[in-house]
Amino acid sequence: MIKYGFVKLAYPKPETHDSLSALLRAADVFFSKPQQFKDQYTFGDYGNDKGGYTSIGVESVHPNSGKKDSVQNYVFRDDSVVDHHNPELAKPAVAYFREMARLTRCLNSLSSLALDLPLQKFNEVTFPSPPSDKNGLALRIAKYEPVEDIRYGEHTDYQMFTILYTGGEEGLQVQLPSGEFEDVTFEDGFVVNAGDFWAGITNGRWRSVTHRVKGGGARIAVPFFTGPRGSWRVTVGGEELTAGEWLARRLAKSNK
């Protein structure tokens, strides 16, 4: 995390691979449906509290490019309130979400130890108590379209960890300290990167590294985003606000 902002992590247990395989199969079926069918699961702009579907040409994640990203996606913000979601996609998504939440607790504990902090420090930041507070977790199932150009622009992630399954396929590129971009693939596990909150919390000791998705054939990627619970208060640029408010501002910029 100090030099590159990325690590590679082997599958923690077989159940994770099984739940991921089921999710990928369901996602392939969903994204092949007619546009009118998918649009019924759009509940607002990308990043809204209910999650759901976002069509191609909505996001523009690079802050200054003005170019829309060639991706459609479906987001789950919770693993319990799922009645409004597509039922065929919700069942495997909930199973995978819970696997990733357990993995998040492990990564948070390891991070506390690495930074010489109390073991549960970052789990207290991430997981709400009482549960009625909004958590900072999000499961995103992204279908990238076959294009030659960059299809998801240069950006840093907004929160804490992003736990990404790549399946060994090329697409993800990370910017090295030299400024060059390098392909990142890992067939038997996850690529985990630090987001902007880690850079802030560690005063830059851990990098929030710039990355992008290059062109290529159609593929599905499954990032799981971790972050502080919504009510956790932070100071950004001298302004104090909640983590939920800060995230909403960053998401709003990518929806323009």
- CA 74, chain centre distance (Å): 11
* CB-based contact 146:217 (threshold 8 Å): yes
In tens digits, the chain (256 residues) has pLDDT values of: 777 788 888 876 666 778 888 999 999 999 999 999 999 999 988 878 899 999 988 877 665 666 777 889 999 988 888 999 999 999 999 999 999 999 999 999 999 999 999 999 899 888 876 666 677 899 999 998 888 888 888 888 888 999 998 777 778 888 888 888 988 877 778 889 998 888 877 888 888 888 888 888 888 889 999 988 888 887 766 778 888 887 787 777 666 5
Tokens of 69: 């990203």
> What one-letter code names the amino acid at 168?
G
Q: Whole-model pTM?
A: 0.88
119 phi/psi in degrees, rounded to 5: -55, -40
- CA 72, chain centre distance (Å): 14
The domain spans of the chain are: 6-254
- CA 26, chain centre distance (Å): 19
Helix spans in the chain (H): 14-31, 35-39, 87-114, 121-126, 196-201, 243-254
pLDDT of residue 12: 65
CATH fold label, 6-254: Jelly Rolls (2.60.120)
